[in-house]
Amino acid sequence: KRHPTVKDNAIIGSGAAVLGPITIGEGARVGANSVVTKDIPASVTAVGIPAQVIMPRNKSKAREFQPYGTPADGCPDPVLQTIESLRGQVSTLMERVEELETQLEDPGQAASLNRDSKTG
């Protein structure tokens, strides 16, 4: 055998090098830019050059893998918050424009509007 074997649910970080006939165990994690020179057991995290096991995986605290750049549940999206804020401001401004247009249609209201704008 000359090539690495990667078992189910194993994660190999970006830029990591797995050299030779190495086995990455089921559920193991290899850190980014690590260099793996010997077998990595199941359910552990290994990092460094050469890669060393830094912590066994506690199944009770394990959470689902969340790839970088994907939305996280319960975390507010700042772009969506900005859009919602802008929509609210546009709605308020549209109501104000309609109110002013209605006042301009009534000549008595237009005169008071002009006085208000000059004093304000």
Give tens-digit pLDDT for 40-95. Answer: 999 899 999 999 998 776 655 556 666 666 666 677 778 889 999 999 999 999 99
Tell me if 27 sits within 8 A of 42, measured CB to CB: yes
CB contact set of 102 (below 8 Å; sequence gap of 6+): 109
- Name the 3-class secondary structure at 36: strand
In this prediction the pTM is: 0.48
**How far, in Å, CA of 99 to CA of 48, rounded?**
66
- Nearest CA-CA partner of 65 in 98, 28, 112: 28
Phi and psi at 6, nearest 5°, equal -115, 115
